[in-house]
């Protein structure tokens, strides 16, 4: 489940991004300095939150699909359970 794993890793993307911006701000000398970090972070943090939201939705969809597939398999196996001479599917 590579997609579900990727989705789980993107959960903390907004926090990771904010920490990366803070780290970049701290790495720059005060003089002459680099203005605009606050605006940059504010604009792009919204994008990071959107990515995180969509990753969460993707993860939930994958889990829901896996459940539905397992349920379908179980129901199909139960249909074959009583067949005379038919192989048992477990």
Q: Flag whether 72 is in a domain.
A: yes
What's the pLDDT tens digit per position in 29-57? 766 667 788 888 888 988 999 998 988 88
Range of the domain at 53: 2-22+34-78
- Residue 64's pLDDT is what? 85
Residue 52 structure tokens: 């995180």
Of 2, 3, 14, the C-alpha closest to 51 is 14
Mean pLDDT within 16-21: 92
Whether residue 27 lies inside any domain: the answer is: no
* Residue 31 structure tokens: 């003089």
17's tokens: 């991004």
User: Domain for residue 29, yes or no?
Assistant: no
Residue 25 has a pLDDT of 84
Question: By CB neighbour count within 10 A (0-12 exposed, 13-18 middle, 19+ buried), where does 34 fall?
Answer: exposed
Q: Does pTM surpass 0.85?
A: no
Looking at residue 40, what is its pLDDT? 86
Chain-wide mean pLDDT for the chain?
Answer: 81
Peptide bond into 32 cis (omega under 30): yes
For 51-89, what is each residue's pLDDT tens digit? 989 888 888 888 888 888 888 888 887 776 665 555 656
Total domains in the chain come to 1
Minimal CA–CA distance to 6: which of 58, 50, 47, 44?
58
């Amino acid at each position: 489940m590579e997609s579900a794993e990727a989705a789980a890793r993107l959960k903390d993307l907004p926090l990771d991004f904010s920490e990366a911006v803070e780290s970049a701000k701290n790495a720059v000398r005060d003089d002459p300095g680099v203005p605009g970090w606050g605006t940059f972070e504010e604009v792009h943090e919204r994008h990071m939150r959107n990515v995180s939201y969509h990753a969460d939705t993707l993860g939930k969809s994958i889990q829901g699909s896996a459940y539905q597939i397992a349920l379908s398999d179980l129901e199909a196996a139960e249909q074959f359970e009583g067949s005379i001479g038919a192989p048992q599917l477990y």
